[in-house]
Amino acid sequence: MQIQIDGITTLTEGIDNCSKRVMHSAIVGVTKALDRALELSRAELNETDHSLKDLAALGHPYSKANPQVIHDPDTIVHAQTGDYIDALRVSKPTSDAYGVVGGDVHVAEEQAQLDRWIQQGTTKMRARPWMQDVVDNHGTELSNIVQAEIEVAVARDAFRK
């Protein structure tokens, strides 16, 4: 079995020959991991210690012309209107005939352009790939959530035999 966290997409592969209990546990685990990924994503996008005016006074630390690290992690995004953080969505976990269970955290279409600007940067603003930061710093935690649910179900199946 393989558990993969890519972007904030969670996939569980190789459980197609397992019991329905294990498949259900994989879906429960992916759901829990996605809920945690959403929580971590919201934390990356919810900084309120600097207003736009404050950032200007600091010399525009997110500009390419005057880059500065003012937070740890450096990918932190300041909430202004709240529209961007409100655009975070979690897709419902799905499974296919091959035993792949997946789901993702993404930004809704109405904020997709802003999301690209923030995560990939622009000609004037440096990139802050917050989603990759969540994966890099919490991917193991998210995988462990899924794995723990599956391990409990496998143990129950083994006990019943």
Predicted confidence (pLDDT) per residue in 83-95, tens digit: 999 999 998 888 7
Range of the domain at 18: 2-160
Structure token digits, residue 24: 């259900």
Whether the pLDDT of residue 146 is over 80: the answer is yes
Reduced to 3 states (helix: H, G, I; strand: E, B; else coil), residue 13 is strand
pTM assigned to the model: 0.84
Instruction: Report pLDDT digits (tens) over 84-143.
Output: 999 999 988 887 766 677 889 999 999 999 999 999 999 999 999 999 999 999 999 999
Nearest to 13 by CA among 130, 100, 143: 100
Task: Say how many domains are in the chain.
Answer: 1
Any residues with CB less than 8 A from the CB of 129 and at least 6 apart, and which?
75, 119, 120
